Structure 1
Amino acid sequence: MRPLLASMFAILISVPAAHAQPVVLKVAHFLPVASAAHSKMIVPWCDKIESESQGQLKCQIYPAMQLGGNPSQLFGQARDGIADIVWTLPGYTPGRFPISEVFELPFVATTHQASSRALWDFTQQYAKSEFAGVKPIATWVNGPNYLHMRNKQVKTMEDLRGMKIRAPSRLSNELLTKLGASAMGMPLPQAVESYSKGVIDAALLPWEVIPGVKLHELSQYHAETAGPRMLATSTMIFVMNQKKYDSLPDELKKVIDANSGSDTSAWVAARFEEADKAGRKAAVDRGNTVYEISEDEMKRWTEATSSIRQEWIDAVGKKGADGQALYDAAISLVDKYSR
């Protein structure tokens, strides 16, 4: 009898992991399920960790702020454990990410993947304090933010005067103001409603969001900008509540770790790059006018907005950091990965 009991006990202790209850992660974001971010990035990432954990990690995704609140509160929801993981834009909470904000300065970012790898390295080296309470999974920049207009074509700075234009972040607000427009900072869901009602005349957005919110159906003109560096972009983050991560068994932490970091940031950026192409195609297929603002005109825009960089450097310096060194580090990392 004793050998039999010993054998049964050995079997019981050898297989509990296989029958353990899966860990269900609450994943929140602010866009509808039709968005590229939901279908091309969040769902595949969740599928990947479920497969690699043999079903021990699962996601319950809450799109369109289904956990309550507004987009500016998403980072706090992850930090405070209301959600386990969130995707959001740091620019929705002005002043919360003063160091990593450098990547949103005009004419810093180049391509999706290169700039996203640079952003990951930069945040790990210089901006870890901005992520207290969360574990970064990926950090990236979306595609170039272009001007999408309801019914007025913009080709010069003079054309921007008096126009009410949505901006996604504090620095984008400054950019538009320097160019002579009336900047209206607001999260995307609010911007789409304002755009449809004619409260704003245009929006500064990447192509990838256009189909998901049907902005191409409300627009006539789309102005792209020439040059190797983006006029504007937004930093994006995919972060996990630190306590939730710490509570995981080591083998599940390894799955999260294997799907975090520089390579994951570049993978996400590639998904957004593909979505940019699809968004542009949607506008072209509808018959909208898509055109490029000339390089000569872009030189004027560069000169008009050059003071924003020094203002950022000075503002960071007042908080005790070396703004010039941080700016130089960001540019150096972008250049390194852009070669």
Structure 2
Amino acid sequence: MSMNLTMNLRTGRKWIWMAFALLLLVAPWVFPQSAALSILSQCGSMMILALSFNMLLGQTGMLSFGHAVYSGLAAFVAVHVMNRLAGGSPAMLLLVPLAGGCAGMLCGVVFGFVTTRKSGTALSMISLALVELVAAAALMFPGWFGGESGVSTDRVLGAPFFGIDFASQLQVYYLIAFWLFVSTAAMYGLTLTPLGRIANAVRDNPERAAFIGHDPRRVRYLMFILSAFFAGIGGALSAINFEIVSAENLSLLRSAQILLFTFIGGIGYFFGPMIGALVGVLFSALLSTYTRGWQLYLGLLFVIVVLFAPGGIAGVWMTAATTWRRLTVLRLRQLALPFLLRLAGLLLLAGGTVLLIEILYRRAAGI
């Protein structure tokens, strides 16, 4: 019985990973426009950042306000590496995210040593101080950080390599999709290792973890370093996609954005941050073209998730799926009408709220 259950779980996981890979492959053919490919590329790099942040918050219980430091510094390293590689083979661009990951890991070694000496609120305050410190220091060294205008680059390094030069957005998307799949698989594999299990124990009960012989600070430090490594990969991919990096990539606003997207998706589920990153990027890229109040809507969504769905979008989805499987056909018929009435009421309330917000924005703009 137990062996059959294990085999079923392994088979289910294989199908999920195959579906994920297939989705990454066919997405550009469903959305072939250049603007859509750019949004898909942003989603890919943000998914890596959200998953890496969840290694701290969801898996180890560390609330950091400075995650953008590691992705941002890695992005600067990636830009300078690309500028050094100008005229070389485009194949070298495949390794730039790895260079960004190593840069992020090195920053995690340095800053994590200070940050993880404490836990809880103290850790959060230290990370907040570090992000402000690094953001301020970026403007003091314009030779490396480029001042307020940032540092630009060109991802087309040299002559095409087997027809690939990364000049088209489609090629950039597949580069990001490749690293997204590899990074996601690596981070999921980490959750199955002894370190991943111990990190969960440190999150839930650090005293008990210490009692059985595991140093909670050491576990936090190791997870911090690994999280910074994957954040560096995400930052480097973002630099490749936009071909420019500025001090904004190191800002507290960027860190808050990563935290917001991760929590909206759901920190209790591995795929939750990926959903949050997708929703957040779509809010930022699409909704911002239709209304100036998109940040207000994103904030309202965050408040609603915190108050009514602390498990995030993934938690709501899993609860609904579990409930659906348990209900009988007769019970579904009995609950259908009350559910539809509540849904209609919520939609009317949401529509009225949006209408009121848009009227106020237009009135303030004099439209």
Give TM-score, length-normalised by structure 2: 0.24
TM-score between both structures, scaled by the size of structure 1? 0.25
* Structure number with higher strand proportion: 1
- Which is helix-richer, 1 or 2? 2
